[in-house]
Amino acid sequence: MDGRAAAALAVFFSLLPAALSSPPPGACAQKEPDVPRLLREIRDEVVGLGRYPGEEFSRGEFFLGEGDDDTNKTHAVGILVKDEADGPRMTIVCSRLEPSPEDPRVKHARDPRTIVCAFRTTGVDLVRSDYSPGELGKLLPAVLKAVVDKKNLLKK
């Protein structure tokens, strides 16, 4: 093997770890979340939980955050789905959970933010949102996961 071939192999092997650890071009570009689809899925999952006796709406309370232990959750989410004359309407309220100064195991809901949407035959109308489109794209998948996780927990 001549000196140029040896040098080429040395360069190749020195760059190989970086090439293997880097994602291919375009792999980091993420597709924008389909907000109407996520809202429909959240509605379907909440309605699938059933109604409480005597109530004419479906509702659920959920927590966002890591792990199964609700004491480690960072946000509380309340969802209400009500049938109206022009189609179902869903309200989602998400609040940040802040530990109490007296007892950090107790958390208080702070800074509630609301999403209201109406489901029509033509699609989903976002009636009101305290979140930007980018924030909705990050929040709604987490809400859907929390709803599905609780639904699965209740099946056990």
- Residue identified by tokens 């802040």 is 98
CB 42 within 8 A of CB 147: yes
Cα gap 30→152, rounded to integer Å: 28
pLDDT at res. 1: 53
32-60 mean pLDDT? 93
**Which pair of structure tokens corresponds to residue 143?**
């809400």
Tell me what pLDDT residue 69 has.
74
Query: Residue 20's pLDDT is what?
Result: 42
CB 118 within 8 A of CB 124: yes
Start-end of H helices in 22-132: 35-48
The whole-number pLDDT of residue 3 equals: 56
Q: With 80 as the cut, is the pLDDT of residue 156 above it?
A: no
What is the pLDDT at residue 105?
Answer: 83
Residue percentage of the chain with pLDDT more than 70: 79
If you average pLDDT over every residue of the chain, what do you get? 83
124 alpha-carbon distance from chain centroid: 18
Given this model, what pLDDT does residue 10 score?
47
Write down the pLDDT at residue 43: 97
Domain boundaries, the chain: 33-155
pLDDT band at 30; cut points 50, 70, 90? low
Number of H helices, E strands in the chain: 3, 5
Tens-place pLDDT, residues 70-119: 777 899 999 999 999 889 999 999 999 999 899 888 899 999 999 999 99
**How would you list the strands of the sheet with 123-129, edge to edge?**
57-64, 75-84, 87-99, 107-120, 123-129
- Residue 40: φ, ψ to 5°: -65, -45
